[in-house]
Amino acid sequence: MFIEKDLNISKAGIIEVIAGSMFSGKTEELIRRLRRAMIARQKVEIFKPKIDVRYSDREVVSHDDNSILSTPVENSGNIILLSGNVEVVGIDEAQFFDIGLIDVVNKLANAGMRIIIAGLDMDFNGKPFGPMPQLMAIADHITKVHAICVRCGSIAQFSHRLREKEQVVLLGEKEVYEPLCRSCFLITRH
């Protein structure tokens, strides 16, 4: 009978993805999970895209003003360089990272780390956003969180942009986006 030790296989890590629309609590859930890992005395490192300076240059901040210190990085390759000697890696706003994030996350998980990723699953057009679809495909666990539609009170899964801009990446908050359910989102498209 073979056992793991005999095969020289180390324990693999895990990939968790928290996905949803804006104002759905993705970052709040990411911070909650990372704080629990810290309470458990695990070595934690948190990353966010350098372009996300809405609330803070150095912190991941939720819409409810909860925050946790992070390392802003230019691209996904920096995450692998800065993740040595940690047990848990948190990544916020994953949709803003390059497609190389998928390989980075796989490598870290294969090296035994727990990876917790939060990001928008769809852009303002309702289309899959950045590397999020592929991250959800390789995830061991996916948590889909929802906001509340500001127009009818139903469960919202769309981030509707209030301003007419064509670029996909437009950083903003309640003055630029609102969460909508499918019905209300479709009404805005006509």
Whether residue 93 lies in the annotated active site: yes
Cα-to-chain-centroid distance, residue 28: 11
Which residues have CB under 8 Å from 161's CB, separation 6+? 124, 170, 176, 177
Give residue 44's region: left, alpha or beta (phi > 0; psi -120 to 50): beta
Closest CA to 22 of 161, 113, 120, 126: 120
Q: Residue type for 118, please? A: A
Q: Which of 29, 45, 93, 178 is catalytic?
A: 93
Residues 62 and 147: their CA atoms lie apart, in Å, by 14
Q: Residue type for 167, please? A: Q
Closest CA to 13 of 96, 93, 114: 114
Which residues are catalytically annotated? 93
